[in-house]
Structure 1
């Protein structure tokens, strides 16, 4: 009996040793490829998206990013065990998580980045198709009408002050096209259509432009109406109910057909409207990283920059980032968003 017990103990011991070896092999398997490739191993990379669309829609659309980013980062020296993608309950939640270091990467608007730049660092700016004109001088926009789409990618877009076919609108346009500077009295003689106070192109950046050029703002104008959409703002302009509207740079392209078909004008929108002011560039969305993430350093930032740029060049990558209307990415610096800082400061003063 003792021999049998000894034999059983020997068998159990052998099984235990083999199991231990098996567990060891399993736990070391993830590290093997990293050791062989010389890559740095990261257990998890967390990415947060703002809820600018339905959260479930964003989650579904960005699921392929996990594999795309894992594969691309492996080429750049990082083996990532898991890419965790979440959608914040609101924009501020993503900014706060970046600041706290509980998120490593965030796809956030420029305004959100500026609010949380004490704990977040911008590394990339999203690009979209640019326009054939990108000038500070409104006369250049008028001399090169119509504005067309460009093959070049742009990291920002302009806000424009559009004068319409009314007598006052035409008088302002004539002055600009003759190379004369508009006075505050000129601007204040017009009736204006603006958007809500949270709209970058329809309110915030035009207010910044007025402040920088005339030490005035939208609330100082005598005649201002708030349109509920850019379409209704153009309808007012076409009807002569307002003389000037503020909008994004390619809005006339979006309303060219409606100018005649819906708003009842006989001539084209390009013949009847002119630019009388141009805002500074309004920078696009960002990819930002946490300054307080445990894993973030200069090498990882550089790899993430390269990875997202490369992913955006692939068909599958373009499909993923199209959820935010992004077409590509370019490297960014904090100073790119200085105008956003000025704009937010102005908005705080107005409120």
Structure 2
């Protein structure tokens, strides 16, 4: 009898453990508790507005993926690489150079690449209805500046983003070297937090030029209500090299079924209002299948900068 009671007790414990590992939905059905996903991205500006927008994005992904999703902001380009490499982040919306670093560490896999609105190379204005998988780096100066070529930047003060930024550092530095001037030794490079800060520094004369991404004047025009960025700033130079858009990258530890689910959610975003609003965090207008080879150009340019 005691043995029988012991067996019954053991079975009860096993059932209790099983129930703890399961969740109960609103209908009273038991389902396996799904692990929380952490998503991280690099904000385009640091004025605090991106934090507020991240919450509805987290809610949107939670609903679509049927699990808790936490969305965090990277403090700069290097921290998202560190977060991916230390397995603190499951999904990264990663700038191209940051993705390449995480990929080469064996910690990130691009499942999609973003699509952006294309820009007219002459006017800097958006091309209605046209999308692109690449963009250019842009060097901005004041419209009344006497700087008219890359060589004129010798001895000048240049605002840049992190050395891990493709358009905000890597591509313009590499192409300036090709043109015969090494800005790391023949100009004064100052790293600032974000593109609005770069633009402000050029407008007020603290800096002579700024390295930004193509279309930056259009993207941030609303942040400068007292300035007409198209009147007060001009594009000195567009990089010859095309920069691949942001990668939607997942941890290499993610199982295939979840990876496919994440991919489909991002592919479907443009088809509903909530999804389109979520994409607007980074000005993304859609997603396509990613080829890692598309990011080889970033590796090439990075090597040029390091030479």
Q: Same fold (TM over 0.5)?
A: yes
* Paired positions, count: 279
| Aligned counterpart for 2:130 among listed residues 128, 152, 155 | 152
For the pair shown, the structure with the greater C-alpha radius of gyration is 1
1:1-351 mapped onto 2 (5 Å cutoff): 43-44=34-35, 46-50=37-41, 52=43, 57=52, 58-59=54-55, 61-70=57-66, 82-85=67-70, 87=72, 95-96=81-82, 98-99=84-85, 103-117=89-103, 118-119=105-106, 120-128=108-116, 130-133=117-120, 141-142=121-122, 145=123, 147-161=125-139, 168-169=146-147, 172=148, 187-190=150-153, 192-196=156-160, 198=162, 200-211=166-177, 213-214=178-179, 216-221=181-186, 229-234=198-203, 236=205, 246-253=211-218, 269=231, 273=234, 275-291=236-252, 293=253, 295-297=254-256, 300-346=258-304
Does the CA-based 8 Å contact 2:151-2:180 persist in structure 1?
A: no
Per-residue CA shift, 1:49-78, capped at 9, x if unaligned? 2463769643454123111223xxxxxxxx
Supply the distance in 1 between the matched residues of 2:237 and 2:202 (Cα, whole angstroms): 16
CA contact 1:62–1:321 (8 Å) conserved in 2: no
Contact 1:127 1:327 in 2 (8 A): yes
- Counterpart of 1:75? none
Determine if contact 1:163/1:275 at 8 Å carries over to the other structure.
yes
In structure 2, what is the Cα distance between the partners aligned to 1:86 and 1:111? 21
Distance 1:146 1:153 in 2: 15
**8 A Cα contact 2:58 2:71, kept in partner:** no
CA distance in 2, matches of 1:96, 1:284: 20
Q: Is the 8 A contact 1:98 1:106 kept in 2?
A: yes
Structure 1 spans left out of the alignment, 5+ residues: 1-15, 31-40, 71-81, 134-140, 173-185
Shift of 1:114: 1.8
Unaligned runs of 5+ in 2: 1-8, 24-31
State the TM-score, normalized to the length of structure 2: 0.65
Q: Is the 8 A contact 1:45 1:104 kept in 2?
A: no
**Alignment CA distance shift 1:248-1:89 (3 Å):** closer
Larger helix percent: 1
Q: Which residue of 2 aligns with 1:37?
A: none
For residues 200-249 of structure 1, what are the alpha-carbon distances to aligned partners after superposition, in whole Å with 9 as ceiling and x for unaligned? 434332102223x336421354x657595213324549xxx95x654432
Q: Could you tell me the TM-score, scaled by structure 1's length?
A: 0.58
Distance change (3 Å), C-alpha of 1:42 and 1:301: farther
TM-superposition CA deviations, 1:296-344 (whole Å, max 9, x none) = 23x6544432221113421112233434443332222222223333444
Q: Is the 8 A contact 1:195 1:229 kept in 2?
A: yes
Contact 2:160 2:198 (C-alpha < 8 Å) held by counterparts: no
Residues 119 and 125 in structure 2, CA contact (< 8 A), matched pair in contact too:
yes
Backbone CA RMSD of aligned residues? 4.9
Change (3 A) 1:328 1:99: same
- CA drift of 1:121 comes to 0.8
Kindly indicate whether the alpha-carbon contact (under 8 Å) linking 1:65 and 1:320 is maintained by their aligned counterparts in 2.
Answer: no
Over 3 Å counting, the alpha-carbon distance change for 1:313 and 1:319 in structure 2 is same
Structure 1 residue 101, shift from structure 2 partner: 5.2
**Distance in 1 of aligned mates of 2:72 and 2:267:** 21
